[in-house]
Amino acid sequence: MKKTGNLFQKWSQSSLVLRILIGLVIGAVLGLLVPGWTWIGILGNIFVSALKAIAPVLVAILVAASIAKAHGGLGSRFRTVIGLYLVSTLTAALVAVVGSTLFPITLQLQDVAEGNAPSALTDVFQNLLTNMVTNPLASISSANYIGILFWAVLMGVGLKLVASPVTIKVVGDLADVMTLIVKWIIQFAPFGILGLVFSAVSESGLEIFTIYGKLVLLLVGCMLFNTMVMNPLWSLLVTRRNPYPLLWACLKESGLNAFFTRSSAANIPINLALCKKLGLDEDFYSVSIPLGATINMNGAAVTITVMTLAVAHTLGVEVSFPAALLLCIIATLGACGASGVAGGSLLLIPLACSFLGIGNDVAMQAVAVGFIIGVIQDSVETALNSSGDAFFTATAEYRDRRKTSQQ
């Protein structure tokens, strides 16, 4: 028993990133050599399912406990991080417009996708408001983070107003227990990544990197430009410090895992652990991280904008400058509500197309193309969105620290 404990301790103390990279390589090799060993893919399913299962409960308890224990002075940080989330998402849409103008893409629209897309921007807000007041237990069971945040905030405020210090300590201890469980799950990330990579490679082979190559390059290029250039620029303006060491840490520790899980919800525990490692204030990041998973959707804004303009180019629809600006605003608002719409960012493409006068039948064909390239598009989108949550959370706190030190 003692020997097993020592092995686990050595395993947990070694570099998680290195272990994940090893799992990635082994998974890809096995996917090419023995694609019939489908049982390997179960490892990935178990890992993602475990993270998805624990994340809603973790967020609900952490947010409530953090607000109950919080002291004053967090208001400016929340204003900063929300502003960064929204401005960076709008910037991502603008980058996508520029990229689509410089490198116009046309599609071969044949198969029509099935699904219910929102027909107007009001539908997105209606979904958000409806999800907000969903039964709290139902919100946790369905991973409805809008509802989880809403009820957790109310619970935290209520605890702060009426609960005794002993009760608040019990809630805080429960949050610590949930955090410990998450740490245990994360230790098995290399095996999960191995299974996920095996499934992707064994099912699609290396052809996943060649289907709709130009479209994938444009999407990924816009996302990377926004992540590597625009987001650091916003951080630099806010903190007056070199943003790239922080950016690299977020991409390495958060983005790498999110790329393979393809789930912002599943990556919330990873981001919370990263923020703790960065020495950030738990009262702040335990709220800003799940909030970012809901409204910080740079990659989704790029996907909506690029795909919409690709449909416009295919049909020969001219997009004026005012129309392009309107499209950016629509993509930003739609992307912030993507988590509340079945199908994520892809099913918001018809909504954006409707503002350019493009019919739903044609737009839904673009959704079908989106599902084809989703193996890469969704992976990159999730990685950049999720790592951005931690990046902007740290940026907001560094700004607050700088202002405090100057006073």
Contacts of residues 210-214 at CB distance under 8 Å and 24 or more positions apart, as own/partner, are 211/372, 211/373, 212/369, 212/372, 212/373, 214/103, 214/105
Residue pair 366/353 in contact by the 8 Å Cβ criterion: yes
DSSP string covering 68-80: HH--S--HHHHHH
- Percent of the chain at pLDDT > 70 equals 80
Say whether pLDDT at 114 is over 50: no
Q: What is the mean pLDDT of residues 4-24?
A: 66
Q: What is the pLDDT of residue 92?
A: 92
Q: What is the pLDDT of residue 117?
A: 47
Q: What is the mean pLDDT of residues 323-335?
A: 80
Residue pair 301/335 in contact by the 8 Å Cβ criterion: yes
Encode pLDDT of 280-315 as tens digits: 888 888 888 888 887 788 888 898 899 889 888 888
Q: What is the pLDDT of residue 205?
A: 62
- Tell me the C-alpha distance between 186 and 9, whole Å: 14
Q: What is the mean pLDDT of residues 109-129?
A: 55
Provide the CATH topology of domain 2-406: Proton glutamate symport protein (1.10.3860)
- Tell me the C-alpha distance between 373 and 210, whole Å: 9
Q: What is the pLDDT of residue 337?
A: 58
pTM value is 0.70
Encode pLDDT of 175-232 as tens digits: 778 877 877 877 777 888 788 778 767 766 655 455 467 888 999 999 999 999 999 9
Longest dimension (CA), the chain: 70
Identify the three-state secondary structure at position 329.
helix
- Tell me the C-alpha distance between 179 and 205, whole Å: 37
Say whether pLDDT at 369 is over 80: no
Q: What is the pLDDT of residue 225?
A: 94
* Residue boundaries of the structural domains of the chain: 2-406
- The alpha carbon of residue 374 and the mean position of all alpha carbons in its chain are separated, in whole angstroms, by 15
| Choice between 5 and 126, residue whose per-residue pLDDT is larger | 126
Say whether pLDDT at 374 is over 70: no
